[in-house]
Amino acid sequence: MVAVVPPARPRKLAKVPFVELADGRLQGVVSSGSDIERVYVSSVTAGDHAYHCSTNNNRPCGGLRGAPCKHLESLADEAVLQYGVDRVARYLRVDAGDGTQTGVELLSRLDARHEPTSAAVVFSRFLRHLAYLELPASTAVLPELHWFPSTGAGR
Ligand SMILES: [Zn+2]
């Protein structure tokens, strides 16, 4: 399949279409590994390192079993690709230490705990982000938009 949106950086856009350091959180949207119709909203709070992962409909992620799930790991890895490990570590207020290079390694250094949060805020930021990406002249299908058959409000 041809990439429709040229990545500014070597990120896996199809897997993690949205990642940001905002609202005191590392947060973003991760596509399901098994179901193309489903996305997960994952976040880690800066400072107290509360994490959560759910579908965009607020269904808890089945991968959360006392530890960050693979979506959170993907999100952290992508954040490190996008922002660099130092910036992500500083934002989350975690001591990256020597030799920490990936988001997964960074996650393992958190004193993390699970705390449910609403996916709605992150998800609406993602939708706004997608709106910026829309290319007026493009007739190609954006894979990222497949998830939102019913969210064409106003656009
Ligand atoms: Zn998850």
91-105, pLDDT tens digit by residue? 999 998 888 999 999
Instruction: State whether the Cα torsion 75-80-85-91 is positive or negative.
Output: negative
Q: Is 47 helix (H, G, I), strand (E, B) or coil?
A: coil
Tell me how far the alpha carbon of residue 58 lies from the centroid of ligand 1, in angstroms. Answer: 11
Tell me how far the alpha carbon of residue 137 lies from the centroid of ligand 1, in angstroms. Answer: 35
Rounded to an integer, what distance in angstroms lies between the CA atom of residue 9 and that of residue 119? 26
Six-digit token pair at 149? 């058959």
pLDDT digits (tens, 9 = 90+) for 21-57: 999 999 999 998 777 778 999 999 999 999 999 999 8
Tell me how far the alpha carbon of residue 99 lies from the centroid of ligand 1, in angstroms. Answer: 26
pTM: 0.78
pLDDT digits (tens, 9 = 90+) for 93-138: 999 888 899 999 999 999 899 999 989 999 999 998 888 776 555 5
Six-digit token pair at 101? 């290079």
Task: Indicate the DSSP class of residue 62.
Answer: T
Rounded to an integer, what distance in angstroms lies between the CA atom of residue 88 and that of residue 76? 8
